[in-house]
Chains A and B, each alone.
Chain A
Amino acid sequence: MPLELAIAWRYLASSRRRAHVALVSAISVGGLAVGVAALVLSIALLTGFQDRIRERLARDTPHLLVGPASGAFLADPAGAARALARLGGLESVTSFVEGRGWLADAEYRTALPVKFRSSVAIVRGEASVTSAVAGPLGAGRGTSVRAVANRSELTPLGAAPVSVPLRITRVLAGPGGGGSPEIELSLEDARALAGSADAISGLAARLRSPGSAAADASRLAAELGDQAVVRTWIDLNPGLTFALRMEKALIFVTVFLIVVVAALNVVSDLALLVVEKRRDLGVLSTLGAAGGSLSKIYWWLGGTIGLFGTAAGAGIGAGLSWALDRFALVPLPADVYLMSHVPFALHARDLALVVGFSLSAAMAAAILPARAAGRVGPSEALRLSR
């Protein structure tokens, strides 16, 4: 054990003989522990909710979408299907047709521009719409609507817009838009709107591990070259995923302020220890300890306080998160929310981030006291502490 660490450790371990130092050190460790526990709990709570949102998103959205680089239809669907198959880890691959059109109520009184996409889960004559279009149309489950194409066809009465009658079977919360369609319908209805007999707009794949979508998309894009565009389920919901990341970052920064306050307390604790131990510093300097060595004592003190506070806080936070989730200690009314209890989920990466930031804050708190200790002149220290 380095001498500086041995001295720092002895100062902390024997501070019970000096009640005020012990109290301030305990407050420092306790403050850090509370801050870290609060941060871990907040992140776990947010992650719990966000994981549920992502799970739903991954359940309702194709994980990989291969579409044409230009035009409305995929040039080589068979080649794209083979490239997808070579990826491995596929749960299913379906072809889809998508396009733009209008969704109108049965009487054509209101019409909204929409993006439509076929889904194998929907039978002919039915549709799933987002609440963003259902609302303005005054539509709900069971309502009859009409999807109208951007193209027309010749009839005995002249050119008439192509339309298909649909009955809404599901209303999805959320705005849609971006890469996601506002309306999902059967392949036959989508083909009728798009005017394609057998061409397809793209392939939609579901993966056994949605988390690997980004890596799989990169490999697939490299293989398909510029003939196709590959998007992941994250790309299809850019607004939502950005909002989730932003929310987590803001919560982290906000709650981390508690750790910063605790770190300021570590500064005052170590500054007190510099004054308290000024005579010792003078003696050590007289015995030949260099200024850098005296500084190291306070780096070790900051590090040790940080380590204890962070470990205690991380342990408390992780333990509470686990217990709150495992035993569903915060129930939610299942008829109002989509879940029966408040979910908590702590990811190793998040915990590592909290621990890293907390230790860094504690070490940063040691900068000024360590510098002050390194500058203590032996003669002055001994004279002032007589």
Chain B
Amino acid sequence: MTEPAVRAVALSKSYGAGAAAVRVFEGLSIDVLPGEFVAVVGPSGCGKSTLLHLLAGIDSPDSGFVEIDGQRLSSLGARERAKLRNEKIGFVFQFHHLLPEFTAAENVALPLRIGSMNRAEAGRRADEILARVGLAGRGSHLPGEMSGGELQRAAVGRAIARRPRVLFADEPTGNLDHDNAERVFALLREIHGESGGSVILVTHDRDLASRCDKIFTMSPQGIESIGGNRDV
């Protein structure tokens, strides 16, 4: 049996404390196999982004656990978890979240520099990645000088710079017009095809979700999968 790329078991998460605590979800489990391209859909406020943050190791569940490539995140210290995020995880935000003081190439090079690659090599790799996402020649531009579609493609470039095992995308097309949304989605599919890694896409767009290998539907009652390898 294939080991899941991402495995979450009995995740619970709430915000706040005491009587003011708001429970986001409880007892939620999900498996994503290597090479799968899955969509997570559901109504606003059901906890899709929170789930993505827990799966990517940028937030911690109240209970339950997450494993990436068989490595349980809760067993890792802060430094090891940061290293895992750098080496095995890519993350695309709804809003590009490029650092405004840095050029597109410098933004793409950031994960490489954090991973201790030297500046020249990271710059060369960033130029290659920008060309791959259709932004050749735009490397020296600051985010403020780029369009929304370009910014999101640069953000995808930054997320794949370390060739991650799992790419998380939190509504990456939610802030784009239809054409740009299609281009970004197509780019994600192409990259998924080339890398062989897993992609977990949170989206409101049912059309985009229908083109994924599997759809996880979140609701206040829990999560269920459609058309996938395993129901949860």
Contact = CB atoms under 8 A, between A and B. Distances in A.
Interface of A: 1, 3, 6, 10-11, 14, 17, 279-280, 282-293, 377-380, 382, 386
Nearest to B83: A288
A382 B97 contact: yes
Given A288-B82, A288-B86, 19 more contacts: A10-B101, A279-B97, A284-B110, A285-B58, A285-B85, A286-B58, A287-B85, A287-B86, A287-B91, A287-B110, A288-B87, A288-B114, A288-B162, A289-B82, A293-B114, A377-B59, A379-B58, A382-B58, A382-B97
17 contacts: A6-B113, A17-B101, A283-B93, A283-B99, A284-B99, A284-B110, A284-B114, A285-B58, A287-B91, A287-B110, A287-B114, A288-B83, A288-B111, A290-B78, A292-B79, A293-B82, A377-B58
A293 B85 CA distance: 14
The prevalent SS among residues of A at the interface is: helix
Contacts of A282: 58
B41 interface: no
B78 to A, nearest CB: 6
A292 to B, nearest CB: 7
Nearest to B15: A383
Contacts of B158: 287
B109 to A, nearest CB: 9
Interface string B108-142: 00110111000100000000000000000000000
Most-contacted residue by chain A among B53, B79, B89, B162 (CB, 10 A): B53
Contacts of A290: 78-79, 82-83
B56 interface: yes
B102 interface: yes
A251 to B, nearest CB: 42
Contacts of B95: 386
A283 B82 contact: no
Nearest to B56: A286
For the complex of A and B, list the 9 residue pairs with the smallest distance between their C-beta atoms, beginning with the closest: A288-B86, A379-B59, A378-B58, A290-B82, A14-B101, A288-B85, A3-B113, A379-B53, A10-B101
Given A285-B82, A286-B85, A382-B93, A280 B99 contact: yes
A6 B103 CA distance: 13
A3 B118 CA distance: 10
Contacts of A10: 101-102
A7 to B, nearest CB: 8
Nearest to B87: A288
A331 B86 CA distance: 66
Nearest to A288: B86
B111 A287 contact: yes
A26 B92 CA distance: 35
Most-contacted residue by chain A among B58, B101, B114 (CB, 10 A): B101
A288 B56 contact: no
